[in-house]
Amino acid sequence: MSKIRIAQIGTSRYSHGNFIFDALKKSPDIFEIAGYAMPEGEETKFPENMAAFQGFPRLTVEEICKDPGIQAVAVETEECFLTKYALLAARAGKHIHMEKPGSDDVEAFDTLIDTVKANRTVFHTGYMYRYNPFVQDLMARIRRGELGEILGVEAQMNTLHPPELRRWLGMYPGGSMFFLGCHLIDLILQIQGLPERILPLNKSTGLDGVIAEDFCMAVLEYPQGVSFAKVNSTEVGGFARRQLVVAGSLKTVELKPFEVILGADQRTTRTEFTQQGQFSEETPLYNRYAPMMRAFGEMVQGKRENPWPYEYERTLYHTVLQCCNLL
């Protein structure tokens, strides 16, 4: 099967644009990189990011959209621009990989989903934990009923962000919940579906004079109990304490630490609790982004079905904004 001609729109300081472009470069058997566009002055705002794009054609967004030979676009701008450029690419009939979670423009995001759905093109979002091997295994085991009835999910994605990043969080509703908590909401929805009620509990610590919501939590109520997503951007040692706990009537599974980053690769530890005792193991080293982009490529080629349908992505986005107290 022929390679996919793909272009990237944008990069950013705090998200995954450069890692995505690197993953495309490392998959030459799947992707032919047509070029990149930097439509929001990225070369001035993030000059340290530009070396990754050297040697590839600099294009405009219009050139990308009008080129019928470009089949797919990776949209990796700053969060506030994501939906804008994804929608332009969607209207041009391109398959889209888009950084999570989209902008806070609800109407534009709904139009984006309507457009890709009408086009029947691939819409794939950058929720990296979807490609964590222990998460994938856990989801399969939940579907098979190995954990029994799911009673609750506890998801934490804490870290210690510098003051300048926490000030930047003030651009977005819900601050840390919008930026990182969206990953956790995705996992909870995949496991339990829509909650009966959502209680957002997003606060500003006020540390370093930062007024953005940097200590965030959302409680999701289900018939069997409650689940929660928590993101604290001021927690010393928080990265090592990131975790996912799924409690079922037959077994409890904990992924903690969710990730230990070793160079460009990650490792996760899983512990299983039953009435007979507990058992722990670690994943081999894996990369966050390479399997994500290879999967996207296989979806475009028709080799793989997208497990996250259009309407799931719409529901997830709306739920994230509810957890941010925007809807």
Q: Look up tokens 């809807």; give the residue.
A: 327
The lowest-confidence range among 197-201, 261-265, 268-272, 283-287 is 261-265
Domain 133-282 has CATH 3.30.930.10: no
**pTM value?**
0.97
Q: Find the mean pLDDT for residues 241-260.
A: 96
pLDDT digits (tens, 9 = 90+) for 61-119: 999 999 999 999 999 999 999 999 999 999 999 999 999 999 999 999 999 999 999 99
What residue spans in the chain does CATH classification 3.30.360.10 cover? 133-282
Parallel, antiparallel or unpaired: strands 225-232 and 260-262: unpaired
State how far the Cα of 183 lies from the Cα of 179, in Å rounded to an integer.
Answer: 9
Sheet of 31-37: strand order equals 31-37, 4-9, 72-75, 95-98, 123-125
Q: Which residues contact 323 (CB under 8 A, 6 or more apart)?
A: 174, 177, 181, 185, 198, 200, 218, 220, 229
Assigned token pair, 146: 């190995």
What confidence category does residue 234 fall into, taking pLDDT thresholds of 50, 70 and 90? Answer: very high
Q: Find the mean pLDDT for residues 186-215.
A: 98
Supply the pLDDT for residue 254.
98
pLDDT above 90 (res 262): no
Provide the 10 A C-beta neighbour count for residue 182: 26
What confidence category does residue 252 fall into, taking pLDDT thresholds of 50, 70 and 90? Answer: very high
Supply the pLDDT for residue 263.
81
What residue spans in the chain does CATH classification 3.40.50.720 cover? 4-128+290-306
Q: Find the mean pLDDT for residues 121-133.
A: 97
State how far the Cα of 116 lies from the Cα of 75, in Å rounded to an integer.
Answer: 14
Q: Which CATH superfamily is domain 4-128+290-306 in?
A: NAD(P)-binding Rossmann-like Domain (3.40.50.720)
State how far the Cα of 205 lies from the Cα of 215, in Å rounded to an integer.
Answer: 6
